[in-house]
């Protein structure tokens, strides 16, 4: 199933609850929460207490994207806070297999993300253990960047490999997705679409509805 996961990174942080209710009512199936530590990426955003507060305002899937070093230290906090999916970066994990197992033991769905320059080869041994792979379509850290075209080739290649191995897996794309290129991402084989600035500039509900017509 194709789903939209609006990224609240581009929302008004002073009104997060209202923003979430608005995109939930407009029909977004997931809510993408970007956690940045100022180390793995240059920016700092929010932590588990904020996820816990936001959990009260929606039953949609809370899709937590951890852009933090050694995320194993915090996955339990995010699981307890109510995250439905916890995605860690392969580049940030010394023991990726252990971290994925840890997330699953907590009863949460596990995702693994890779940066644009990271080859999909690093996913080879974990794709039958995870629930989702996140192919970054920009370098993580900021909203509002332009999609890097070669990243969609990685999506196509990963979908092909999954087909060959008979693995059903969600592929999420994140960064620079707009109404003008969302079809390309879907055709490449992504089925969960993150959109931040394209949703939260202007009327977020109308933008969600416009994206959903492509899904």
- Choice from 93, 110, 133, 140 touching ligand DX5 (CB under 6 A): 140
Angstrom distances, CA of residue 63 to CA of 150, 165, 186 = 24, 26, 19
Q: Is 9 in the site for ligand DX5 (CB under 6 A)?
A: yes
Q: Is 63 a catalytic residue?
A: no
Annotated binding site: 7, 32, 34, 65, 141-144, 174-176, 196-197
Q: Is 32 in the site for ligand DX5 (CB under 6 A)?
A: yes
> Among Zn ion, ligand DX5, none, what does residue 3 contact (CB within 5–8 Å per kind)?
none
Look up residue 111 and give its two tokens: 């995702």
Distance in angstroms (rounded) separating the CA atoms of residues 133 and 34 = 15
Binding mask 166-205 for Zn ion (x = CB under 5 A): --------x-------------------------------
Angstrom distances, CA of residue 3 to CA of 68, 206, 210 = 25, 16, 13
Angstrom distances, CA of residue 26 to CA of 8, 82, 180 = 15, 22, 20
Q: Is 10 in the site for ligand DX5 (CB under 6 A)?
A: yes
Q: Is 37 in the site for Zn ion (CB under 5 A)?
A: no
Distance in angstroms (rounded) separating the CA atoms of residues 145 and 39 = 19
Q: Is 28 in the site for ligand DX5 (CB under 6 A)?
A: no
SS3 content of the chain, % helix, strand, coil (to 5): 40, 20, 40
- Are 191 and 171 in contact by the 8 Å Cβ rule? The answer is yes
Q: Is 198 in the site for ligand DX5 (CB under 6 A)?
A: yes
The residues of the shown chain that bind ligand DX5, judged by CB under 6 A, are: 7, 9-10, 32, 34, 65, 138, 140-141, 143-145, 174-177, 194-198
Q: Which residues are catalytic?
A: 34, 174
């Amino acid at each position: 199933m194709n789903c939209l996961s609006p990224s609240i990174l581009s929302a008004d942080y002073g009104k997060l609850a209202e923003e979430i209710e608005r995109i939930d009512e407009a029909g977004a199936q997931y809510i993408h929460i970007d956690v940045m530590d100022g180390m793995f990426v240059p920016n700092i955003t929010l932590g588990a207490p904020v996820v816990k507060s936001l959990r009260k305002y929606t039953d949609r899937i809370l899709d937590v994207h951890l852009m933090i070093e050694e995320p194993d230290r915090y996955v339990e906090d995010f699981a307890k806070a109510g995250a439905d999916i916890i995605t860690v970066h392969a580049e940030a994990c010394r023991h990726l297999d252990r971290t994925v197992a840890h997330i699953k033991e907590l009863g949460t769905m596990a995702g693994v993300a890779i940066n644009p320059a990271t080859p999909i080869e690093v996913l080879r041994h974990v794709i039958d253990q995870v629930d989702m792979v996140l192919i970054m379509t920009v370098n993580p850290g900021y909203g509002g960047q332009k999609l890097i075209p070669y990243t969609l080739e990685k999506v196509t290649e990963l979908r092909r490999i999954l087909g060959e191995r008979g693995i059903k897996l969600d592929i999420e794309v994140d960064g620079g997705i707009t109404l003008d290129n969302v079809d390309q991402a879907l055709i490449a084989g992504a089925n969960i679409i993150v959109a931040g600035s394209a949703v939260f500039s202007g009327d977020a509900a109308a933008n969600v509805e416009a994206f959903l017509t492509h899904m």
